[in-house]
Structure 1
């Protein structure tokens, strides 16, 4: 290269055009920014609070996670995240359990970084949120419900409000520890749970319905028998009062089988022959 041209080029100022990005989590999200430049190892840079904004370099990486209370719905219905949780009672009867699990992801900066690096990175940087919940919430929930149900019978849970309440409270008490054991840290907090009455197998439901209908029919029949008994007692009282023949005549008049016509006093009544 020409020495004069080289000297001229060396004397020119060098301008680097860098473009940056910004992370602005929604009010119900928390963000993380990692320094991932081409000349450095990937390392944590900063947390971004819900609703705030942070700027980072073009080679850096950003991640977002849910902030605030979330609800995990299980059971039948379009709004459910998963189907019924199936468990067996003390007698081995298969039950379907539905309910709602409410929780909050701990977005304290240090804790969120630990969660991200320990769990989130295995699930596409937290993008596979349903996958995270399936492993770290659903499985502990199944365990807690299964253990609480093993000592109960379906009749107790289905028909005894106190037993059902005790069962629900037992699951709620065991769940936080089960979740922390699965995750290895206090990453999910403010855990609360509500369970519905267990859903019975269809055959058992049909049997209960048939039993209920038979019971209702028996009650109706008993009421009818009582009505007939009272009626018979009333008829006996009238027979004792008026005599059997007069009671038959009175009954015929009441039923409209004999018509009584008013006759003015002193009127002469001519009856046809044979009457």
Structure 2
């Protein structure tokens, strides 16, 4: 009996080894040969078998069902919905770690901080997406944390791609557009500390002080110019029309800390001047009113007496203006 058990045991071991070495990997490969995408992603599939090439096999559209992609194929998933890239001084909201502001000089040499958001969509045309994967899906990009990622490695990989490829284009466009405006044309309070460099047409004709101007129109011009130039520049830089529906929203233009401090001091000084001017105006108005009142009394002495009687405190019954001890006699 023991002799019969030995062959059975060895046979079981052999079958287990075959299952572990052959059957299970085959089943795993077969099950792993299916892929699907969610509603917010689109996938590029590349061949990856032992005896296969690495060319693109197919593209899976967003929200697909289970799709056969072949054994050991590589699936690169990219965002299919609108994406955005934020540049802001708020460390919790920017796409780069820490304070992230584009600093560019105005035409009169003031470094200005630009904050805004770029909205765009990855081109979902299959041919364009294949070209994009050939150019950028086969490379890795360094992120702010020092690690390298492929563009399809989730949000970190996509952000690393934007930081290294798209961000320089945004910076260059902002620099080109902002450099055509003076500081006061984009930040009206900048005029308060630029008396020496402001042109005559920006000055008050009577006082010579710089008059702050509305900058909403100029900010809109910068924003529109960036929207026009970004599309062409991104297509040229990326080597194809890989992003569509491009829109840049310029959120805020800030001044350097020292310049802003000077503006704050100037505004405080103007507030004090305005307060003093208001007091002077009030005093002049009161003096004019008193003079007019006195002129009326001079023309009508009776009216003056009537006003004096109206001003008497309650409870007074006798009015003796000639009394040297007092003009008022209280009731007894």
TM norm. shorter chain > 0.5: yes
Q: Deviations over 1:152-192 (max 9, x none)?
A: 11111113222221122111111111111211111111111
Stretches of 4+ moved more than 4 A in 1? none
1:59 to 72, 78, 95: 72
Indicate the residue corresponding to 2:316 in structure 1.
Answer: 262
**What secondary structure is seen at the aligned counterpart in 1 of 2:58?**
strand
Indicate the residue corresponding to 2:84 in structure 1.
Answer: 71
2:54 to 25, 34, 42: 42
Distance in 1 of aligned mates of 2:130 and 2:284:
80
Question: Could you say if the C-alpha distance between residues 40 and 216 of structure 1 is closer, same or farther in structure 2, counting changes exceeding 3 Å?
Answer: same
2:123 to 103, 106, 111: 106
**What secondary structure is seen at the aligned counterpart in 2 of 1:119?**
helix
Distance in 2 of aligned mates of 1:125 and 1:164:
33
Q: Deviations over 1:207-234 (max 9, x none)?
A: 2222222223322322222221121122
1:31 aligns with 2:57: no
Question: Could you say if the C-alpha distance between residues 79 and 203 of structure 1 is closer, same or farther in structure 2, counting changes exceeding 3 Å?
Answer: same
Indicate the residue corresponding to 1:141 in structure 2.
Answer: 170
Distance in 1 of aligned mates of 2:235 and 2:112:
26
Q: Answer whether contact 1:23 1:54 (CA < 8 A) is retained.
A: yes
**What secondary structure is seen at the aligned counterpart in 2 of 1:171?**
helix
Q: Deviations over 1:116-141 (max 9, x none)?
A: 11112102362221121112211110
Normalised by the size of structure 1, how large is the TM-score?
A: 0.81
Structure 1 residues 230-239 or 161-170, which shifts more?
230-239
Normalised by the size of structure 2, how large is the TM-score?
A: 0.68
Q: Shift of the alpha carbon at 1:274?
A: 6.6
Q: Deviations over 1:218-254 (max 9, x none)?
A: 22322222221121122223333446xx98xx78x95
Q: Shift of the alpha carbon at 1:72?
A: 0.8
CA RMSD of aligned residues (A): 3.0
Distance in 2 of aligned mates of 1:197 and 1:63:
36
Distance in 1 of aligned mates of 2:159 and 2:315:
88
Distance in 1 of aligned mates of 2:129 and 2:216:
40
Alignment of 1:80-119 (within 5 A): 80-82=94-96, 83-119=100-136
Indicate the residue corresponding to 1:201 in structure 2.
Answer: 256
1:221 to 258, 261, 276: 276
Question: Could you say if the C-alpha distance between residues 178 and 233 of structure 1 is closer, same or farther in structure 2, counting changes exceeding 3 Å?
Answer: same
Indicate the residue corresponding to 2:185 in structure 1.
Answer: 156
